[in-house]
Structure 1
Amino acid sequence: MRRLRALPIQLRITLGSLLVAGIVLAGVAALMAFQIRATTAASEQTLAESDLDPFLSDLQNNPDETPDKPASGILVAIRSESDGFLLNTLPDELQAHLADRDLHDRDFVQAIVPDRDSEAPTRRVTSGGITYIVVEQHISTHEGQFTLWAARSTTSGDLTISALDRSLVVGLVVAFLAFGAAAWILSSLSFGLFADWLSRHC
């Protein structure tokens, strides 16, 4: 404390301003990072659900027909309780996870997607070094019980988040330095004007 009091008052004002700015900027950065991650997760979940919708509709309307194959790159799987997998375009490692009926597998983690009202259980699954958002649905027809999955890789979203994080860090550093420089200049100008006023009136 004594060392701080020994510093020039302009420097003390600048340091105090930087402390306040650092707290505010850090809070804003944390909020932005959380919001970006939540939005990205929600987007990936919505895409996975949209991949699953046509197969749900097809099973409801034509449960006795073999499901059509999806377009290239669409990761879905349909398993009949009696006949096993009717359709599966999932990577082998991911299929091994989903074939396990234990939904509390240690590799399954509930996705953090705030403010979503979705009936489909959504999980983040890490398999083969890749993380997926996996949406699961169950349907009952006169042909039996079916479980459907749709998966979306988070690789693209993770790369976007990493790039945004880097940009956010650079922006915070620049803003912090600019705020410090502005605080120093303003405090110096204020004391210069105050000293000038004293010299004229005293």
Structure 2
Amino acid sequence: MLSRLSIRARITLGSILVAVVIFSIALVAVRVQVATILTTADSTLARGDLNSFADEIIANPANTLDDPGTGVLLFVRAPDGTVQVDTMPHIIREHLEHRDGANEQLTQDVEGMDFVVVGRVVHTSAGTWSLWAARSTGSSTLALQGLDSTLIIGALVLLAGFGVASWVLASAALRPVERMRRKAELLGADPGEGGLPVGPARDEIAELASTLNALLDRIRQSTEREKQMVSDAAHELRTPLSVLKTQLELAHDDFGDAEALARQLVAAEVSVDRLSALATNMLELSKLESAGTPTTPSSTEQLVTELMGSVDRARMLAIAKDVEVAFSVNVTGEDAAFAIGQHSFGRVVDNLLSNAIAAVHEEGVVTASLSTEPGGLVLEIRDDGPGMPESFLPHAFDRFSRPDDSRTSSTGGSGLGLAVVGAIIDSSGGSVSLHNGGPGLVVTVRLPQM
């Protein structure tokens, strides 16, 4: 039931329930205190009635006591057992006749009315006197009844006021949330509307708004990346798909010519390989730019092993162009850890070496070196190709970006290789940069030690 109510209503009801408990304890404590005071007052008055007779007995024990007067309830028994004064109600008298004198206090009910009875013993030369005085608690009962009514009415008024105040305060506290909700509705209709309002007070609601705004920014950026990825992918896929379609159409026309058909099928396989590589790179880049899965750290020894494996693979690619692939390793601290997976590092080296091999001319040279620097490792890939236009260098790691010269035009690259490299290195906390070395291009990767 409570879960279906609004937060404002739940806060108000909770506050009222707490107030009910506190007020109940306070009212009971007040009533008990007042009742104690009234009972003490009644017993004090009864003792006062006794004192005057006790003083008279002590002064003149042989004299006969006078009538106490109307309204004074008294019972006095002489040492010889005779009752000299008796103005007690019948029920109380029957109870006192069979009691020995004692300094005590008791309560007696007489036909629904309570009496406080106070006893006292007076020792004289003639013997021991027993004195009893009684006071009706009717006036105290009436006073308590009036107090109960006043306390109940006052408590109800206070609860009503407390409930209204709680509702108003809860409404004021939740007003920023309502503004955030209305703004969120506008954001749903127009994502570019901006962020949620952040109040001037640095409270929990303002912190929530700031956190949600940061989340919205990340969602917008992710959405923009996805839109850009889809747009770029559609643009990049259109050409190879058109080429593949044309190649298949030509293959249909060459069914009677086995050699021509074989050439078209080989060309189609190349187009399919290019599409497959493009799809693989797009998938990997999408995974890297998403939330990101924690990577198992790698040691220096593992990275060196992966570098040598990448060099071996690159040499197989370089045979067709008669390109030399050289490498050098100058590292220390084989047990040092780095926040990059071994296979991810191999993918970085593979991409950089394949790009370099594609860029250099026949009988060119590509060099990979791995060295230690204070606090990390440095990977450097250098080639003696034509390099890149200076204006393109700031955009080299953008998706589907390619320089407008011969560096990649002959290879038909997708423009995702460096984007994948940049994403992998960013996720590991490192940095990657490139510059023209005159001749060729120099790519420098720095990995900080964990």
Compute the TM-score of the two structures, normalised by the length of structure 2: 0.39
List runs of 5+ in structure 2 lacking aligned partners. Answer: 184-196, 199-212, 214-450
- Is residue 2:146 matched to residue 1:148? no
Letter paired with 2:169:
L
Partner of 2:45: 47
Which of 144, 147, 151 is matched with 1:168 structurally? 151
Equivalent position of 1:121 in the other structure = 104
2:103–2:118 CA contact under 8 A, matched in 1: yes
Contact persistence 2:15–2:166 (CA under 8 A): yes
Alpha-carbon distance change, 15 to 102 in structure 1, aligned in 2, over 3 angstroms? farther
CA deviations on 1:87-128 (whole Å, 9 max, x unpaired) are: 11112222111112279xxxxxxxxxxxxxxx9411111123
SS in structure 1 opposite 2:83? strand
Select the structure of larger CA radius of gyration. 2
Matches within 5 A, 1:6-155: 6-101=4-99, 120-155=103-138
Counterpart Cα distance in 1 of 2:103 and 2:118? 6
Q: Which has the higher contact order (CA 8 A, sep 6+)?
A: 1
The reply on whether 1:157 has 2:140 as its aligned counterpart is: yes
Q: Secondary structure at the match of 2:108?
A: strand
1: CA distance, partners of 2:111 / 2:127: 32
Residues 29-84 of structure 1 deviation map (CA, whole Å, 9 limit, x = unaligned): 01001001000000001000001101111111110101122132111110024142
In 2 relative to 1, CA 102–6 (structure 1 residues): closer, same or farther, beyond 3 Å? farther
Stretch moving more, 161-170 or 120-129? 120-129
What is the CA-CA distance between 1:197 and the residue it aligns to? 6.9
TM-score of the superposed pair, with normalisation by structure 1:
0.84
- Which piece of structure 1 moves more, 63-72 or 151-160? 63-72
SS at match of 2:71: coil
Post-superposition shift, 1:194?
Answer: 4.3
Q: Secondary structure at the match of 1:133?
A: strand
Distance 2:16 2:22 in 1: 10
How far, CA to CA, are the matches of 2:27 and 2:88 in structure 1?
36
- Runs of 5+ consecutive residues of structure 1 not aligned to the other structure: 104-118
Secondary structure at the aligned position of 1:183 is classed as helix
**Candidates 157, 178, 194, aligned match of 1:195:** 178
Moved more, 70-79 or 40-49: 70-79
Alpha-carbon distance in structure 1 between the residues aligned to 2:49 and 2:135: 9
Q: What's the counterpart of residue 192 of structure 2? A: none
Equivalence for 2:163? 180
**Distance across 2 between alignment mates of 1:153 and 1:50:** 14
**185-194 vs 142-151, which moves further:** 185-194
CA RMSD of aligned residues (A): 2.0
Q: Distance in 2 between matches of 1:192 and 1:83?
A: 83
**What amino acid does structure 2 have at the position aligned with 1:46?**
T
Give aligned pairs, total. 185
Structure 2 CA distance for partners of 1:120 and 1:194, relative to 1, 3 Å:
farther
CA distance in 1, matches of 2:92, 2:2: 58
Task: State the percentage of identical aligned residues.
Answer: 31
How far is the alpha carbon of 1:182 from its aligned partner? 1.0
